[in-house]
Structure 1
Amino acid sequence: MTKRNRIKFLFMKRSVILLSLLISLLLACGPDRVQYTNELKQEMADSKIKRITDADLIETIDNMGGKVSAVVEKELATGLSKTTNPADRAKLCQLQNLPRVKAIAERYALDIRLLGTADVKNKSFSQKERDILDAYLYNAKQKLAPISNIQKITDTLFVYNLALPADSPICKACFGKQEIPFAVWRLAFSKREVIRRMNSTKKK
Structure 2
Amino acid sequence: MKPSVSLIGLFVITLIACNPERVQYTNELKQEMANMKIKRVTNVDLVETVDNLGTKITEIIQKELATQLEKTTDPAERVKLCQLQNLPKTKAIAQRYAIDIHLLGSADVQNKALSAKEREVLDAYLYNAEQKLPQISNIQKINDTLFIYNAAVPAENLICKTCFANQNTPFAIWRLAFSKREVIKRMSATKKKK
Q: Which position in structure 2 is the counterpart of 1:180? A: 169
CA distance in 2, matches of 1:86, 1:165: 22
Q: Secondary structure of the residue that 1:153 maps to in structure 2?
A: strand
1:75 maps to which of 54, 64, 80: 64
2:155 maps to which of 124, 146, 166: 166
Greater helix proportion: 1
| Change in CA separation of 1:200 and 1:98 when aligned onto 2, cut-off 3 Å | farther
Q: CA RMSD in A?
A: 2.3
Asked if 1:61 is matched to 2:56, the reply is no
Deviations 1:137-187 (A, max 9, x none): 000011011110000001000000001111111101000000000000000
CA distance in 2, matches of 1:131, 1:140: 14
Q: Which runs of 5+ in 1 are unaligned?
A: 1-30
Question: TM-score, normalised to structure 1's length?
Answer: 0.76
CA distance in 1, matches of 2:46, 2:167: 34
Q: Is the 8 A contact 2:45 2:191 kept in 1?
A: no
2:145 maps to which of 142, 153, 156: 156
Measured after TM superposition, the shift of residue 47 of structure 1 is: 5.9
- Counting aligned pairs with the same residue, the percent is 66
Q: Which position in structure 1 is the counterpart of 2:114? A: 125
CA distance in 1, matches of 2:64, 2:190: 26
Q: Is the 8 A contact 2:153 2:173 kept in 1?
A: yes
Structure index of larger Rg: 1
Aligned 1:78-97 pairs, distance under 5 A:
78-97=67-86
Q: What is the number of equivalent residue pairs in this alignment?
A: 168
Q: Is the 8 A contact 1:151 1:160 kept in 2?
A: yes
Q: Is the 8 A contact 2:41 2:191 kept in 1?
A: no
Q: Which structure carries more relative contact order (alpha carbon 8 Å, separation 6+)?
A: 2
Q: Is the 8 A contact 1:145 1:165 kept in 2?
A: no
CA distance in 1, matches of 2:138, 2:190: 24
Asked if 1:191 is matched to 2:180, the reply is yes
CA distance in 1, matches of 2:34, 2:44: 21
Measured after TM superposition, the shift of residue 49 of structure 1 is: 4.0
Aligned 1:9-158 pairs, distance under 5 A:
42=32, 46=35, 49-158=38-147
Q: Is the 8 A contact 1:62 1:150 kept in 2?
A: yes
Question: TM-score, normalised to structure 2's length?
Answer: 0.80
Measured after TM superposition, the shift of residue 48 of structure 1 is: 5.0
Q: Which runs of 5+ in 2 are unaligned?
A: 1-20
CA distance in 2, matches of 1:142, 1:46: 46
